[in-house]
Amino acid sequence: MAKIETFDNPHPNRNYAIRHVAPEFTSVCPRTGQPDFGTIEIEYVAGALCVELKSLKFYLQGFRNEGVFYEDAVNRILDDLVAALSPRTMKVTGSFTPRGGMHSVITAEYPDKS
Amino acid sequence: MAKIETFDNPHPNRNYAIRHVAPEFTSVCPRTGQPDFGTIEIEYVAGALCVELKSLKFYLQGFRNEGVFYEDAVNRILDDLVAALSPRTMKVTGSFTPRGGMHSVITAEYPDKS
Amino acid sequence: MAKIETFDNPHPNRNYAIRHVAPEFTSVCPRTGQPDFGTIEIEYVAGALCVELKSLKFYLQGFRNEGVFYEDAVNRILDDLVAALSPRTMKVTGSFTPRGGMHSVITAEYPDKS
Amino acid sequence: MAKIETFDNPHPNRNYAIRHVAPEFTSVCPRTGQPDFGTIEIEYVAGALCVELKSLKFYLQGFRNEGVFYEDAVNRILDDLVAALSPRTMKVTGSFTPRGGMHSVITAEYPDKS
Amino acid sequence: MAKIETFDNPHPNRNYAIRHVAPEFTSVCPRTGQPDFGTIEIEYVAGALCVELKSLKFYLQGFRNEGVFYEDAVNRILDDLVAALSPRTMKVTGSFTPRGGMHSVITAEYPDKS
Amino acid sequence: MAKIETFDNPHPNRNYAIRHVAPEFTSVCPRTGQPDFGTIEIEYVAGALCVELKSLKFYLQGFRNEGVFYEDAVNRILDDLVAALSPRTMKVTGSFTPRGGMHSVITAEYPDKS
Amino acid sequence: MAKIETFDNPHPNRNYAIRHVAPEFTSVCPRTGQPDFGTIEIEYVAGALCVELKSLKFYLQGFRNEGVFYEDAVNRILDDLVAALSPRTMKVTGSFTPRGGMHSVITAEYPDKS
Amino acid sequence: MAKIETFDNPHPNRNYAIRHVAPEFTSVCPRTGQPDFGTIEIEYVAGALCVELKSLKFYLQGFRNEGVFYEDAVNRILDDLVAALSPRTMKVTGSFTPRGGMHSVITAEYPDKS
Amino acid sequence: MAKIETFDNPHPNRNYAIRHVAPEFTSVCPRTGQPDFGTIEIEYVAGALCVELKSLKFYLQGFRNEGVFYEDAVNRILDDLVAALSPRTMKVTGSFTPRGGMHSVITAEYPDKS
Amino acid sequence: MAKIETFDNPHPNRNYAIRHVAPEFTSVCPRTGQPDFGTIEIEYVAGALCVELKSLKFYLQGFRNEGVFYEDAVNRILDDLVAALSPRTMKVTGSFTPRGGMHSVITAEYPDKS
């Protein structure tokens, strides 16, 4: 995976929301070897650091030829971004295109919603 | 009905949401013998187990030639999935196509909303 | 008005939501004698009884040639259904097509929202 | 049926198109006695006469409690309007709401498309 | 301005919601003399009185050739309707079409949201 | 398959168009045994006979548990309806839901488009 | 009515299309005195002259308090613009909001479509 | 930057909401020198002052040839408007068009959401 | 590239249209090495052979990690399918997602449109 | 203006269509000095040359701070692209956002439509 790069939050004293929507996510189903497609949406309140957009794009492209289940992809993206950014809060949502006539949406949050 | 199969929740320590949308649900009206059509939406927070998608598809196909009322179908799907998965929470919604100029939506939750 | 018929709630121990949407409602304006058109939406949590769909259709058709104001129609439908079903909660919404360049939406609930 | 009233075409030397769309058409199915609903669209190039809108509304309301098949309603409306207006050309389209899971659209033209 | 007329609330013991949407509002910009256009939406819970629709239409038409700012128009409509109806609650929203590449939405409530 | 029933064209001297849209078509894939779903649209200019709607519904339901490829289903429906109705012209279109990330649309006409 | 002003067509040797869409047209019904609302769309191929946009806006505003039927308004706008611009071709379309549950669209062309 | 001008709030005793939506915002990416595009939405409850629309337009146009990151632009607009208006509350949202296949939305509020 | 497999056209005597829409196409930009995304739409009238859907999916997946320009991809898909199927006519359209704020659509036909 | 760069048409023997859509076009009104915004759509059949996308983006950005009327901008883009590419056919369309409540669409073609 490409390294997630950051820049200093220009307004660290304000709890404002940042949302990036990446509709060109693709990975590979570990069971069938077939490609999966979806939209990844990342919403967070930054602490000291913001994610740099180009590195985020390269990081997400790192899943292109990797076998991963939906549930796992979304949780791993959340874990990696939380580790890189130490945000105050973050939510990652993956909306995947239909397979077998069903489509799926996975949503994970930090800190964990209880 | 096909058996609902499961796999181990890869992130059991996080309360994240999983939603599967199945727009190709069909059953038979027990009164008229005519086919009914609708979309079944399942949203849950997993405990130790996640539902395996292919088995979910086969389970829902099991209603194809079975006579069942809307209200009953949605509650049975909820009961069967709760029994198989022991989720922390689950909501099942069935949206059915018009009959006699009216369409219907049924929503049931576990644990029961009081 | 046709009698509203009921059947036993198949899952009386769960507070699940039932919604029926009837986009083919028509009545007559008591002032002008001209037909009115709208959509009636009924959402309820059943107690011991559910409304039977065919009788609901005939009940709503009973307004076809009757003079009634919007505000009155929605409240009467709520009253009649509450009397027939003794639901735990119920909401009735009527959305009417434009007259004089304005359209109207009336929403009444049981128990009354305070 | 209410009489279709007319007024003199204010620009009889120009072949311009007039279209009226009436989404509140309702009649009764002659087989089941149940109400049908649809949208009637009338497009014509006037000769010496234009249809007066209020009388057109009353004319279409005349079908409210009359039993008529889709195919027949659209052709009769075309015949009646051609008789009243002697238009250069006219097309009548009826788009009806779903019955038994199917909806229907009927289109008739004057002069007949060969 | 035309007088806002009322009729007795047919169900005064219930707190039900009435919404009227008027998409054909027009007034004049007091600065430029140019016409403004927008949609006025009125939602209220009636006390003893409901607003009569035809008089509401004439009242809103009273702004047609009057110079008024967006913020002022919405607050005046709220004040006038509250004075005429003594509603339990009321919200008036004005959504205006773009001027200078920007469009505006004004929302005022009674009693005042604190 | 249920028999396609007909009634006499009430306006046989006019070449008017009749379109029926059936969004609840389902059959079975002969290769996988899995259900397929789609919308069948039938547009025709009647000769002496029109198709009776209820029998058309039953006829299309006859594919529910039958194995048939998309290309074959659409052509067979066209052949069966042409045989039953002897229409002046007819077009049958089948639009099927995604399988393997692709959806398909098949269109056949009578007489054959050259 | 405000004068329609023009400027020299900057590319008079090319038959290119110019379309202006004015969704804020309003006039007064000569029968009821009530305001009418609609969208006027003007599409033309210029000869030596193009219409100046600000003067077109003022010209259309000239209908604001004038009584005029739909059919007449569209034809008059076409006549006035043809007189002012001598275009190679022009089409004027007026789409009006619902009155009595019906909406209307009028389309006139120069030269006249035969 | 153009000066943000104000006018006296005509209804200072009421906490009503004012929203301006500016879909024609453009600035320059400080990294690449390429133009960025987006929609700026400003929603506030005025204190003693309202923002004058024309000066708001000129103020936002001041970003046209200025290099600024998304996160910075939204926070600066909020800071400048709060300084000029002393509103009771204000929210500024910037929705930017896709770059590298991702689009971004930034939302900042005054007082800061904790 | 995976081999394009075929099956015998079940209705070779009729010129009917087959359309397959593949919204999950992805390739790599030969200049930047970045992934491209788009929808490939294939419409044809079969001769003796139809394209088998699963092999079509694998064939299109063959572009996943291959560097190819938009114009080239669409023309190559057309060439490969024409070589495999000898269709009577075929049209291939590629609609690609925005790059640098612009999106592109390429359409090629066999036989060549003159 | 940036130079329009080209590359060799990879399939010069086929008359296939290439369409580029640029929704981020902006220029300046020569009368008011205010920015204008619109979408430029370019569709052409290439001869020996195709337009290189990055240079097309820079060329269109050249209008950012230039005063130009709508009619002139579209015709100049067509002239410049025809001069650079010598296409077999080309159509340029500009759709501009509302000014004074009206929006405009200009379409020019090469060779000139007669």
Question: Nearest residue of F to residue I54 by CA position?
Answer: F100
pLDDT digits (tens, 9 = 90+) for D52-91: 999 999 999 999 999 999 999 999 999 999 999 999 999 9
Q: Enumerate the residues of chain I whose CB falls inside 8 A of the CB of residue H97.
A: 98, 101
pLDDT for I30 equals 92
Is the pLDDT score of C114 beyond 70? no
The mean pLDDT of chain J is 95
CA distance H39 to chain I (A): 15
Is the pLDDT score of H34 beyond 70? yes
**Active-site entry in E36, E50, E79, E80:** E36
The answer to whether residue D6 neighbours chain F at the CB level (below 8 Å) is: no
C:D CB pairs within 8 Å:
20
- Categorize the per-residue pLDDT at A3 as very low, low, confident or very high, splitting at 50, 70 and 90: very high
Torsion on CA atoms J92, J95, J100, J101, rounded to nearest 10: 140
For range C17-36, the mean pLDDT: 96
The answer to whether residue E37 neighbours chain J at the CB level (below 8 Å) is: yes
Question: Nearest residue of C to residue B102 by CA position?
Answer: C22
| Spatial distance between the Cα atoms of E97 and E69, rounded to a whole number of angstroms | 13
* Backbone phi, psi, residue J102, to 5°: -125, 140
pLDDT digits (tens, 9 = 90+) for E60-104: 999 999 999 999 999 999 999 999 999 999 999 999 999 989 999
pLDDT for I1 equals 73
pLDDT for G28 equals 96
The secondary structure element, H or E, covering residue F81 is helix F70-85
- Categorize the per-residue pLDDT at I114 as very low, low, confident or very high, splitting at 50, 70 and 90: low
ipTM of this predicted structure: 0.93
For range B94-102, the mean pLDDT: 94
* Backbone phi, psi, residue C39, to 5°: -115, 130
Question: Nearest residue of D to residue B37 by CA position?
Answer: D101
Task: Indicate yes or no: CB of G35 within 8 angstroms of CB of E64.
Answer: yes
Is the pLDDT score of B36 beyond 90? yes
Is the pLDDT score of H114 beyond 70? no
Task: Indicate yes or no: CB of D102 within 8 angstroms of CB of F16.
Answer: no
Is the pLDDT score of A113 beyond 90? no
- pTM of the prediction? 0.94
Question: How many contiguous H segments (helices) and E segments (strands) does chain F have?
Answer: 2, 6
For range F76-99, the mean pLDDT: 97
pLDDT digits (tens, 9 = 90+) for F26-75: 999 998 999 999 999 999 999 999 999 999 999 999 999 999 999 999 99
User: In this complex, which of B97, B99, B101 lies closest to D97 when CB atoms are compared?
Assistant: B101
Query: Can E36 be counted among the known catalytic residues?
Result: yes
Task: Indicate yes or no: CB of J10 within 8 angstroms of CB of I114.
Answer: no
At G64, is the secondary structure helix, strand, or coil? coil
pLDDT for G76 equals 97
HSE (side-chain half, CA atoms, 13 Å) at E40? 29
pLDDT for E29 equals 94
pLDDT for E114 equals 66
G44: Cβ contacts below 8 Å, ≥ 6 apart? G17, G18, G19, G51, G81, G85, G87, G88, G89, G90, G91
| Spatial distance between the Cα atoms of E93 and E82, rounded to a whole number of angstroms | 14
Residues for chain A: how many in total? 114
| Spatial distance between the Cα atoms of B24 and B75, rounded to a whole number of angstroms | 18
Burial of residue B28 (number of CB atoms within 10 Å: 0-12, 13-18, 19+) = middle
pLDDT for D2 equals 86
- The helix, strand and coil proportions of chain J, stated in percent and rounded to the nearest 5, come to 20, 45, 35
Is the pLDDT score of A114 beyond 80? no
User: In this complex, which of A17, A22, A54 lies closest to H107 when CB atoms are compared?
Assistant: A17
pLDDT digits (tens, 9 = 90+) for I49-88: 999 999 999 999 999 999 999 999 999 999 999 999 999 9
pLDDT for D114 equals 66
Is the pLDDT score of A41 beyond 90? yes
pLDDT for G113 equals 78
- Categorize the per-residue pLDDT at H56 as very low, low, confident or very high, splitting at 50, 70 and 90: very high
* Backbone phi, psi, residue F85, to 5°: -110, -20
Any alpha helices (H) in chain G, and if so which ranges? 53-61, 70-85
| Spatial distance between the Cα atoms of J8 and J85, rounded to a whole number of angstroms | 10
pLDDT for G114 equals 66
Which of H16, G82, F3, B70 is CA-nearest to residue C51? B70
pLDDT for F114 equals 66
Which of E75, E24, I26 is CA-nearest to residue G36? E24
pLDDT for F43 equals 98
Is the pLDDT score of J100 beyond 90? no
Task: Indicate yes or no: CB of F104 within 8 angstroms of CB of I24.
Answer: no
Is the pLDDT score of A71 beyond 70? yes
Task: Indicate yes or no: CB of B17 within 8 angstroms of CB of A106.
Answer: yes
Task: Please identify which residue in the block is written with the tokens 């929609």.
Answer: H39
Is the pLDDT score of H100 beyond 90? no
The mean pLDDT of chain I is 95
Task: Please identify which residue in the block is written with the tokens 């007489």.
Answer: F111
Q: Enumerate the residues of chain B whose CB falls inside 8 A of the CB of residue A74.
A: 16
The answer to whether residue G26 neighbours chain E at the CB level (below 8 Å) is: yes
CA distance A30 to chain I (A): 16
